């Protein structure tokens, strides 16, 4: 093949980026557009500029690093992922896909290959949704499925809006050109760690992704009454925690499936005023429900609000659906290019379905789109113990570089 | 009777103190030794100094405002309560008892009455335990049942230790003398709002308190494993929230009593890392259990740790008992003096048992001790809606003033 990525250079960048927001337990806390996250953007941009790559940034804070093609009339072929992490996240989730794309551009540049299409490495803003809720905000706004105004108005726990954080990002990029939101792509590829155990347990190094689970999320608020915990009889209480637990018990029963295929999680839970001597007056919690089948997503998801209302014995309950994303199917030119690159690599590989959601989920209706997975240790992710092997990281980047060149030849 | 308190002056002070830490909903957020709490101390101290009263402060941050008696060899007769509040607390809890005692000293001073014993108004430090856990710290350390070192080492959520906060308090009181911890009292009286519905529903204005519930508190920590919520099957999870809820379900069953006499509350609950996309790796929550009977406190309380261990299916659980306080019985000279003052008032009254814990709980073994309650609206407390009537506040202070004079005559 005409291109060979530099595995050592790539691994060095993985290590360099892991220092930005490093946690004592070996993970990363790099929340969207915090100083460390902006540091990732700036470090890669500085390397890119030395190669003569262009920087483009849009109104929602996505950064595109662009190597020009020979035909300026063609839309770019884009690959990348996100650089933000969970509060106690790992060193690979997101950043691996960014660096695999970046390494591909560098390797193609090192080989002096002239492509027809411009090639771009994208860093999508706020994929994790840990600082600004919900996640996949940069990609969703770019694709036109989420409103820009809502995204910019979202505030973090310190009251800083996403709009203010984007202004801060822009102030660090006086050298970036403006990219219009929604500017078309010729194709979109995303490499990612699997965040599950299948590749490792099967001994495969690469996974060609066939699709992605749908997701529905509900924010449930239970409003009771604060009272003194030493004096108020149970019969006179409106204890928001008691009703929240009744609701969760009912939800656990609703979402129980014998074959353990449904993903049901309550990862966000807060109680107010959170004082030992005070009967809780308010609880908010978040339901995250994911599945591959549209009908099941509809039927079970639509039961959440009525079931919460039934289960609450003493308190008022409100249920707001904050995310409703259908399952995704990958097929067509990008899927085929990734499969061809993976087949020719000689590495063991498989088709694989994505349990996690990713930025590229919004694009199959807009341009040819596909994903590639590499294994992560024990399937552990969203965890400081998250780990991946240097040779798997290199194999993933090599497949992305080759896929970009295959697509450059095949696409109009 | 030889003393008459000034109800208007007292109500004015209630209103003045309610402005320190006032919340938009009409309540108070005045955490122990924050600027507003120190403001209460300073305002009362300044009024006291103009009357020639002395200021004494001890190593744990309790303030004593002292009107001298004729016999300096006698220990003081002390009354008071606390000035700190819950985060969303009311305008009467604690501060009423302080101001009733302070008004009593002023009224006795206005009447030029010479007492044998010195009379003191005490502000106990950190009763609520909202800023520094646990509560009743100032009174507990003074009484010798809690270690000073542990109290001073406790830190608030911003990392400030109680010791540092006490140093800050002292720096605002260059005019205070030092009171040795444990200096004996001739007697201790505490006035308080009932924090329950009995006086109001019975039409009584005053309650002579017969005793106080015992309390046991347990801090339960559930340690699981963080994982990606979209990819990790239920069977591979160690979801700390799932196990925490199993434990709480078991605790609700254990503490259920048909006659609704047991007080069982989970008012403190935190989940980590508290992100929608992450299976919770850790949950901590606090069990608050109160009852009047020593045997039941022992039997049910001792079941908490083994039951939590049994109920947790996937996670490690640790249970730490952080409070174990026996029930209290009030009897003897202070109880009798309060009852005599209340009887002579002509107001409707009753004997009443305290569901809430109060600072004076540590003193019955040390000196004659007693409590007086006034009604609070709908029994609501630890809530910004907490309310009490001016005439009830005045009746309570009048009874305290008279009790002080009765005790001054009767006690050696």
Strand partners, B222: B283, B317
Residues of A in contact with B235 (CB under 8 A): 260
Strand partners, A227: A279
- The pLDDT tens digits for A229-269 are 998 999 999 999 999 999 999 999 999 999 999 999 999 99
Q: Suggest the residue from B132, B224, B269, B276 to mutate for an interface test with chain A (most A CBs closer than 10 A).
A: B276
Which pLDDT score, from 0 to 100, does residue A134 have?
86
* Minimum Cα–Cα distance from A29: chain B residue: B273
Q: Nearest by CB to B230, from A232, A233, A355: name it.
A: A355
Which DSSP string do the residues of B9-37 spell out, in sequence order?
HHHHHHHHHHTTTB-TTS-B---TTSHHH
Tell whether the model's pLDDT for residue B327 goes beyond 70: yes
**Would you call B269 and A273 a contact, using CB atoms and an 8 Å cutoff?**
no
Cβ atoms < 10 Å from Cβ of B170: 14
Interatomic CA distance for residues B149 and B137, integer angstroms: 11
Model confidence at B382, in pLDDT bands (50, 70, 90)? confident
Q: Say if residue B204 is in the same domain as residue B218.
A: no
**Of A310, A325, A340, which residue constitutes the final position of a domain?**
A325
Q: Say if residue A345 is in the same domain as residue A402.
A: yes
Q: Say if residue A154 is in the same domain as residue A225.
A: no
- A400 membership: H or E segment, kind and range: helix A390-410
Q: Say if residue B268 is in the same domain as residue B382.
A: no
Which pLDDT score, from 0 to 100, does residue A319 have?
98
Model confidence at B2, in pLDDT bands (50, 70, 90)? confident
Q: Is B270 on the interface with A (CB under 8 A)?
A: yes
- The pLDDT tens digits for B359-369 are 999 999 999 99
Q: Suggest the residue from B267, B280, B314, B375 to mutate for an interface test with chain A (most A CBs closer than 10 A).
A: B267
Residues of A in contact with B252 (CB under 8 A): 242, 245
3-state SS, residue B343: helix
Which pLDDT score, from 0 to 100, does residue B318 have?
98
Distance from CA of B55 to the nearest CA of A (A): 31
**Of A299, A325, A351, which residue constitutes the final position of a domain?**
A325
Q: Say if residue A317 is in the same domain as residue A348.
A: no
Average pLDDT score over residue span B221-241: 94
Distance from CA of A69 to the nearest CA of B (A): 37
Give Cβ neighbours of residue A15 (< 8 Å, ≥ 6 apart): none
Q: Say if residue B355 is in the same domain as residue B289.
A: no
Distance from CA of A225 to the nearest CA of B (A): 8
Per-residue CA distances from B133 to A65, A129, B154, B223, B321 (Å): 51, 32, 7, 22, 13
* Minimum Cα–Cα distance from A263: chain B residue: B230
Interatomic CA distance for residues B245 and A244, integer angstroms: 10
Which pLDDT score, from 0 to 100, does residue A2 have?
80
Distance from CA of B167 to the nearest CA of A (A): 25
**Would you call B229 and A263 a contact, using CB atoms and an 8 Å cutoff?**
yes
Which DSSP string do the residues of A245-294 spell out, in sequence order?
HHHHHHHHHHH--TT---EEEEEEEEEES--TTEE--EEEEEEEEEES-H
Tokens of B60: 């744990």
Q: Say if residue B203 is in the same domain as residue B336.
A: yes
Average pLDDT of chain B is 96
Q: Say if residue B315 is in the same domain as residue B376.
A: no
Q: Say if residue B220 is in the same domain as residue B209.
A: no
Q: Say if residue B31 is in the same domain as residue B177.
A: yes
Domain-embedded: residue A2: no
**Would you call A288 and B229 a contact, using CB atoms and an 8 Å cutoff?**
yes
Rounded average pLDDT per 10-residue block, chain A, 412 residues: 91 98 96 98 98 98 98 97 95 98 98 97 96 93 96 95 97 97 98 94 97 96 94 93 98 96 97 93 97 96 98 97 94 97 96 94 96 95 93 98 98 90
Cβ atoms < 10 Å from Cβ of B167: 13
Model confidence at B59, in pLDDT bands (50, 70, 90)? very high
Pairing of strands B214-223, B316-325: antiparallel
Q: Where are the beta strands (DSSP E) in B326-366?
A: 328-329, 349-354
Q: Which ipTM score applies to this complex?
A: 0.82
Average pLDDT score over residue span B335-350: 97
Domain-embedded: residue A1: no
Distance from CA of B355 to the nearest CA of A (A): 5
Domain-embedded: residue A90: yes
What CATH number does residue A162 fall under?
3.40.630.10
- The pLDDT tens digits for B244-281 are 999 999 999 999 999 999 999 999 999 999 999 899 99
Which pLDDT score, from 0 to 100, does residue A7 have?
97
Prediction pTM value: 0.82
Contact A125, A81 (CB under 8 A): no
Q: Say if residue A115 is in the same domain as residue A152.
A: yes
Strand partners, B220: B285, B319
Q: Is A282 on the interface with B (CB under 8 A)?
A: no
Domain-embedded: residue B1: no
Residues of B in contact with A265 (CB under 8 A): 229, 239, 276-277, 279
Question: How many domains would you assign to chain A?
Answer: 2
**Would you call A236 and B87 a contact, using CB atoms and an 8 Å cutoff?**
no
Strand partners, B269: B285
Q: Which of residues 101-160 of A touch B (CB under 8 A)?
A: 128-130, 133-135
Distance from CA of A67 to the nearest CA of B (A): 34
Which pLDDT score, from 0 to 100, does residue B134 have?
85
Backbone φ, ψ for residue B144 (5° rounding): 85, 10
Structural domain boundaries, residue B111: 7-213+327-410
Which pLDDT score, from 0 to 100, does residue A1 have?
47
Chains A–B, number of C-beta pairs less than 8 Å apart: 231
**Of A325, A348, A376, which residue constitutes the final position of a domain?**
A325
Domain-embedded: residue B63: yes
Q: Nearest by CB to B228, from A195, A241, A252: name it.
A: A195
Which DSSP string do the residues of B215-283 spell out, in sequence order?
EEEEEEEEE---EETTT--GGG---HHHHHHHHHHHHHHHH--TT---EEEEEEEEEES--TTEE--EE
Q: Is B276 on the interface with A (CB under 8 A)?
A: yes
Domain-embedded: residue A311: yes
Q: Say if residue B343 is in the same domain as residue B235.
A: no
Q: Which of residues 67-106 of B touch A (CB under 8 A)?
A: 86-88
What CATH number does residue B315 fall under?
3.30.70.360
Tell whether the model's pLDDT for residue B351 goes beyond 90: yes
Q: Is A230 on the interface with B (CB under 8 A)?
A: yes
**Would you call B195 and A249 a contact, using CB atoms and an 8 Å cutoff?**
no
- The pLDDT tens digits for B80-132 are 999 999 999 999 999 999 999 999 999 999 999 999 999 999 999 999 998 99
Which pLDDT score, from 0 to 100, does residue A263 have?
96
Q: Which of residues 164-203 of B touch A (CB under 8 A)?
A: 194-197
């Amino acid at each position: 093949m005409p291109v060979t990525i530099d595995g050592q250079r790539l691994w060095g960048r993985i290590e360099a980026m892991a220092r930005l927001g490093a946690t004592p337990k070996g993970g990363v806390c790099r929340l969207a557009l915090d100083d460390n996250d902006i540091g990732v953007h700036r470090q890669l941009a500085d390397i890119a500029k030395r190669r003569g790559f262009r920087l483009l940034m849009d109104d929602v804070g996505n950064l595109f690093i662009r190597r020009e093609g020979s035909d300026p009339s063609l839309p770019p072929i884009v690959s990348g992922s996100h650089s933000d992490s969970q509060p106690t996240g790992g060193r690979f989730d997101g950043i691996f896909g960014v660096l695999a794309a970046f390494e591909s551009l560098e390797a193609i540049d090192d080989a002096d290959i002239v492509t027809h299409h411009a090639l771009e490495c994208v860093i999508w803003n706020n994929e994790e949704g840990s600082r600004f809720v919900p996640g996949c905000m940069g990609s969703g706004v770019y694709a036109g499925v989420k409103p820009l105004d809502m995204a910019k108005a979202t505030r973090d726990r310190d009251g800083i809006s996403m709009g203010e954080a984007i202004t801060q990002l822009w102030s660090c990029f006086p050298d970036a050109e403006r990219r219009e939101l929604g500017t078309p792509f010729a194709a979109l590829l995303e490499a990612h760690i699997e965040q599950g155990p299948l590749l490792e347990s099967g001994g495969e190094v690469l996974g060609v992704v066939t699709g992605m689970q749908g997701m529905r999320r509900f924010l449930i608020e239970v409003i009771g009454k604060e009272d003194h915990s030493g004096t108020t009889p149970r019969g006179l209480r409106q204890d928001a925690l008691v009703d929240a637990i009744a609701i969760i018990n009912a939800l656990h029963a609703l979402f129980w499936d014998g074959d353990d295929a449904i993903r049901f999680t309550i990862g966000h839970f807060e109680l107010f005023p959170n004082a030992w001597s005070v009967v809780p007056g308010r609880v908010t919690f978040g339901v995250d429900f994911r599945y591959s089948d549209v009908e099941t997503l509809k039927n079970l998801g639509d039961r959440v609000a009525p079931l919460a209302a039934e289960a609450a014995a003493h308190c008022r309950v409100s249920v707001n659906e904050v995310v409703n994303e259908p399952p995704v199917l990958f097929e067509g030119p990008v899927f085929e290019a990734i499969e061809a690159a993976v087949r020719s690599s000689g590495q063991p590989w498989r088709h694989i379905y994505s349990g996690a959601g990713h930025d590229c989920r919004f694009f199959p209706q807009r341009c040819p789109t596909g994903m590639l997975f590499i294994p992560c240790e024990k399937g552990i992710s969203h965890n400081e113990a998250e780990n991946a092997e240097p040779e798997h990281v290199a194999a993933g980047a090599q497949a992305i570089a080759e896929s970009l060149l295959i697509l450059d030849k095949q696409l109009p």
